[in-house]
Structure 1
Amino acid sequence: MKAESIRSIFNEFDHQSNYISHSEINSGHINDTFLVKTEGPKDYILQRINHNIFKNVPGLINNKVITSKHLKSKYLNLSEEELDKKVVSFVKTKKTPFYYHRENENFWNAMIFIDDSVTHEIVKDEEIAYEAGKLLGEFLNLTSDFDSSQLIDVIPNFHDMSFRYKQYASSIQSAFKKRLEKVASYRKIVADLKHEMHILQELKEIGAIPIRVTHNDTKISNSLFDKDNKGICLIDTDTVMPGIIHYDFGDAIRTICNTAAEDEKDLFKVEFNLEYYKAYEKGFLEKTKNSLSEIELNYLPLAVKTMIFLMGLRFLTDYLNNDMYYKTNYEEHNLDRAKNQFKLIESFSEKLPNH
């Protein structure tokens, strides 16, 4: 976007800073995110929320804001300045809401940028996996007393396996023949795993697993680290909503333990890293072991397989739907993502054969 447009939108927020420049951060599949540099002591993240995907953007932003406020309330020993470096802090507009909206156009929100921070697309050592596990564990532990009914369902049925299977079945009916032919070998995998991939959903529906505040997008790039790779916090809280901890744990492991990028075409590079799994699990359990039930703990491994599969199914479905949901850079981008996830399931099953 043009600098004048970004500056104009940025100046709708009550930041009391002077815009210098901006750059786009290309890490998300859905939204557009910009780093805004200012003359003041703080820089900012300016985010355009994709209202075609998120149907209730004011509710989504309220979820983010009240969750951050709850997290901040847990760090009583920190100053406001320290809190801004530990928890994602949202900026009000000059008219007081936490979002800016032009009629018939996009919604925007702004956050204080956490200086000297880094993210990772791929985990390269066990220490990062361990620190990331602690971050998710701390998030879930600190929000365990937060009434999740205060949150809206940002994307209804987001991790509902039955819903995703219905979407998949519909995509097969409407897909172009050429694309159907290219996914033929994966249709059998999807059919064979159908029962197992519904177990967690069924336990949730009968109340065997409690509903909690969950992040719902815990890929490794949504964990923020300092320059020494010590965990700071989880970011990109657009999908914070009620859920079960298995969604968060499984999706984190899905990205932490993939030895390659999510869209790596060379499947020989895609393996499940068992050492990273153990390191992440160690950090996660250090923060959550006293707040999780026995049944939640027992189903953590199945959560991993389920979430890898779910993403594979979603990428496959979007490919069959001619790439309507995820941003793609080339014609078979979603198919490559799907192949990648199914290969990861295969490797996971080899490394953890009893799960």
Structure 2
Amino acid sequence: MKANIESIFNEFNHQSKYVGHSELSSGHINDTFLVKTDGTHNYIVQRINHRVFKDVPGLVNNKILTSKHLISKYPNATEQELNKTVLSFVKAKDTAFYYHKENDDFWNVMIFIDHSITHEIVKNPEIAYEGGKLLGDFLNLTSDFDSSLLIDVIPNFHDMSSRYKQYTLSVQNALKERLNKAAKYIQIVADLKEEMHILQNLKKAGEIPVRVTHNDTKISNSLFTKNNKGICMIDTDTVMPGIIHYDFGDAIRTICNSGAEDEKDLSKVEFNLEYYKAYEKGFLEKTNDSLSKTELKYLPLAAKTMIFIMAIRFLTDYLNNDVYYKTNYPEHNLVRSKNQFKLIESFSKKISI
């Protein structure tokens, strides 16, 4: 059923008159709308997918706590300045930061940061550099935020042991035809198993600290000025406790692939070392003083590990007969998995760990 965006928007305390709205296409989970008003601000109205996110009130609370902490880092900033720097959320008329009717959708509203843009892909090293600074700034500013105050929005999201267990079950239950087609990659997974658990084991041993992490660091979740200067990280639905390697590694995975994620021609899939170095430079400019020697040491492994996690997630779904990701043809998930394994191969030739 199509939502009445105007009526939902008016369930929030914004003190503005609705003029019109448009849907923003970026994002695969939530529905996001830009609402134009006659007031000082325009707004983002977001429908939160409660089928993916099981505890929406907890998720929204994570977002609010994170924004309040970030705001506290700018004690001398005016409200107008903060609204251009930090995500600012609007309360619903019942005083919660979300609107929900029984058996219906969950909605939240935030102030739109005017004159801002996002990028779906990185087109030059300058954007990679600015993106690295934005993530570094986010992690640096939240480094003193008690992550235990946040819920796990998606439990075990980047947990290698959990992903590997799912993968192992898929191998045990897969059809023979699919096992044969995936045989080469099943062997690669076996060869990489020990190395790909290093970060997980360091986390469990307490040698890498658990911090507040973003957990969805593709470049489209970085907000830029029209001159491509970084503003802030957006889409904080997945903010939860984690290790910085999840964020750095996933950003590198999405930024540094020269091909599309489902490119069939693997000769087009190469790891872009120039973008890696630019992103890392920006990231370290903001985080170098707040990261431990161990965290810094394992940044390159983070990239390889996050590429591997996506490789086995696609491979797992292929072996499970494509039950999770949408596919356009029978071997779509296998192609995606091959793509990520080729990216690992290219990465390993260019960066030594």
The reply to whether TM is greater than 0.5 is: yes
Query: 1:211-254 deviations in whole A, cap 9, x for unaligned?
Result: 11111111111111110100001111111111111111111111
Q: How does 1:235-274 map to 2 (within 5 A)?
A: 235-274=234-273
- What SS is found at the alignment partner of 2:33? strand
Q: Match of 1:13, as an amino acid?
A: F
CA distance in 2, matches of 1:237, 1:175: 36
Q: How does 1:164-313 map to 2 (within 5 A)?
A: 164-175=163-174, 179-313=178-312
> How far apart are residue 266 of structure 1 and its match?
3.2
CA distance in 1, matches of 2:274, 2:31: 34
Farther-moved stretch of structure 1 (34-43 vs 299-308) = 34-43
**Judging changes above 3 Å, is the alpha-carbon distance between structure 1 residues 238 and 279 closer, same or farther for their aligned structure 2 residues?**
same
2:88 is the counterpart of 1:89: yes
Number of matched residues? 353
> How far apart are residue 329 of structure 1 and its match?
5.6
> How far apart are residue 20 of structure 1 and its match?
3.0
2:22 is the counterpart of 1:23: yes
CA distance in 2, matches of 1:325, 1:49: 19
CA distance in 1, matches of 2:23, 2:62: 24
C-alpha contact (below 8 Å) 1:122/1:259 kept by paired residues: no
Q: Match of 1:123, as an amino acid?
A: V
**Judging changes above 3 Å, is the alpha-carbon distance between structure 1 residues 332 and 39 closer, same or farther for their aligned structure 2 residues?**
farther
1:138 alignment partner in structure 2: 137
Farther-moved stretch of structure 1 (7-16 vs 237-246) = 7-16
Farther-moved stretch of structure 1 (183-192 vs 283-292) = 183-192
**Judging changes above 3 Å, is the alpha-carbon distance between structure 1 residues 21 and 337 closer, same or farther for their aligned structure 2 residues?**
farther
> How far apart are residue 113 of structure 1 and its match?
1.4
Farther-moved stretch of structure 1 (330-339 vs 141-150) = 330-339
TM-align CA RMSD = 1.9
CA distance in 2, matches of 1:181, 1:47: 43
Percentage identity across paired residues of the two chains? 76
Farther-moved stretch of structure 1 (269-278 vs 201-210) = 269-278
> How far apart are residue 112 of structure 1 and its match?
1.4
> How far apart are residue 174 of structure 1 and its match?
4.3
CA distance in 1, matches of 2:110, 2:289: 32
2:120 is the counterpart of 1:102: no
2:146 alignment partner in structure 1: 147
Query: 1:277-300 deviations in whole A, cap 9, x for unaligned?
Result: 111111111111111111111000
Farther-moved stretch of structure 1 (321-330 vs 278-287) = 321-330
C-alpha contact (below 8 Å) 1:29/1:326 kept by paired residues: no
Q: Which runs of 5+ in 1 are unaligned?
A: none
- What SS is found at the alignment partner of 2:130? helix
CA distance in 1, matches of 2:332, 2:220: 19
**Judging changes above 3 Å, is the alpha-carbon distance between structure 1 residues 336 and 205 closer, same or farther for their aligned structure 2 residues?**
same
